[in-house]
A = this chain, B = another copy of it.
Amino acid sequence: MADLQTLLAECAATVDKTMDLLLPKPDDAEALLFEAMRYSCTAGGKRLRPFLVMQSAALFRVDKRCAARVASAVEFMHTYSLIHDDLPAMDNADTRRGRPSCHKQFDEATAILAGDALQALAFEVLAAPETHADPAVRIELVRELSQAAGGHGMCGGQMIDLLAERDGEMNIGAITRLQRLKTGEMFAFSSVAGAILGKGSYRSYMALHNFAQEFGLAFQIADDLLDVEGDPEKTGKPVGQDAAAGKATFVSILGAERARAQAHLLIDQAVHALEVFDEAADPLREAARYVVDRTN
């Protein structure tokens, strides 16, 4: 296989191009809304969720254009959650990926609406015939994404996160559940999307689902470690934000060494879950190893 960084960059280029085609063009009275949507969608980032979609789709030889639409829908959903999480009432973040956050670049009302419209756009993209000829496949994608994004998924996880910051009491079970909801469900959707698009077997669907569960938690532990040990020049974030906010994390509870060991154990399990696939799944295996060793 090609080098992982090359694959990630290729995927990001494909998905960025697809998102550009799917995002509305600013032209009418509501142009400001579309500008805000585009501003946040073009802020860069590793496009890790789109990568999972494209790679899981490749396992089933899904048409790349179809996969890129689903990858774009996931990234629209992810971007909407970042815009809303950054709002003053939530995490109150002035910057995101080194640029002003959406509500700082525009204003709060526009940022709320841009997030709302991006969520609607994600479903609109999945529902369109261009995403897959079979409506049963499209509705399955809508169903899984809506569950991953809603009260029993991303929104529920963000609610627990906010409540935890207020009272600060969290044990390792509670944090695991929080992260499975907040970020894990969207990783899981991204990983199984290929099996849905390619009408894969139940066995391959479950393999990708289990992969994503472990992958997501390892990703989060690595994130917590970077907050403690990362190089601010590479992460683009000051060190120790979680601790300063009094936030319980995998690292604050387990300590850095045990957290790191746990992350590597999870990645071994994630890779193990992929054993039903041949070397076509190597980019997913590589991505899993990269996620815990990354420096940004």
Q: Which A residues have a C-beta under 8 Å from some C-beta of B?
A: 24, 28-30, 32-34, 37, 80, 84, 87, 89-90, 107-110, 112-113, 115-117, 119-121, 123-124, 126-128, 135-136, 138-139, 142-143, 145-147, 149-153, 155-160, 162-163, 174, 177-178, 181
Contact = CB atoms under 8 A, between A and B. Distances in A.
Given A142-B123, A146-B127, A174 B113 contact: no
Contact of A116 (B28, B34, B155, B163): B155
A123 to B, nearest CB: 4
Closest 7 CB pairs of A and B: A120-B150, A89-B108, A124-B146, A117-B155, A127-B143, A33-B159, A30-B156
Given A89-B107, A110-B159, A143 B128 contact: yes
A128 B150 CA distance: 14
Contact of A89 (B28, B29, B112): B112
Nearest to A24: B151
A208 B123 CA distance: 24
Contact of A123 (B107, B123, B162, B178): B123
